[in-house]
Amino acid sequence: MQNAALIVVDVQNGFTPGGNLAVANADQIIPNINQLGQHFDNIVITQDWHPQNHVSFAENHPEKQPFETIELDYGTQVLWPLHCVQGTADAELHPDLDLPKAQLVIRKGTHAHIDSYSAFLEADRKTSTGLAGYLKERGIARVFIAGIATDFCVAWTAIDACKLGFQTYVISDATKGIDLHGSLQHAWQDMLAAGVQRILVKDIIQQQASSTL
């Protein structure tokens, strides 16, 4: 697919059943993602990669519980269970993920005092991962986003992609959401309002077959 990239967000042990921050049935999207990978020449994978003392971990805040919030310099931060700690099995890509053509892995959330949902910008909205420059240098104009979780890292990545000038699609049957207090519906509203287009796996395959993408 010309001038397009598939961005696969955080398909890791930590976010799939058995992981420390498992999203229900998230492993069920992996076959769809693997199928999509056969139709893209440009594939980027993101990986949550936190230090043990990361600011987003509830255990690092006495008297706080997972899924409560705190206020940081850059705004409201959800506190999460310990997950995807650097170098642990929880942080590894899911063993069923099969994307041999992937060229780049972006590790995010590596700075102890800043969370990072988006593949493009950390939560302070200033610290860049370098992904936008990488894609633009390669002549990529369109990005198709899959992965976990729809309402957090996928949504932030998609909205940033739109802001950065990419034609942006989220593949709804190749994503899974946490849906924390209605967050999934809100995320889709925010994405669509930002200009993100919603698409299905079959649409991509059919449209590529007819050479309209």
Q: What is the pLDDT of residues 130-140, one digit of tens each?
A: 999 999 999 99
Q: Whole-angstrom Cα distance, residue 174 to residue 160?
A: 19
Encode the chain in three state secondary structure.
CCCEEEEEECCEHHHCCCCCCCCCCHHHHHHHHHHHHCCCCCEEEEEECECCCCCCEHHHCCCCCCCCEEEECCEEEECECCCCECCCHHHCECCCCCCCCCCEEEEECCCCCCCCCCCCECCCCCCECCHHHHHHHCCCCEEEEEEECHHHHHHHHHHHHHHCCCEEEEEEEEEECCCCCCHHHHHHHHHHHHCCEEECHHHHHHHHHCCCC
| pLDDT given for residue 160 in this prediction | 98
Q: Whole-angstrom Cα distance, residue 74 to residue 125?
A: 8
Residues catalogued as catalytic? 10, 108, 153
The single residue listed with the structure tokens 């796996």 is 201
Strand partners, 121: 128
Q: Whole-angstrom Cα distance, residue 91 to residue 84?
A: 4
Total-model pTM: 0.96
Q: Whole-angstrom Cα distance, residue 103 to residue 57?
A: 30
| pLDDT given for residue 72 in this prediction | 96
Structure tokens at 41: 């020449």
Q: Which residues of the chain have pLDDT under 70?
A: 211-213
| pLDDT given for residue 125 in this prediction | 94
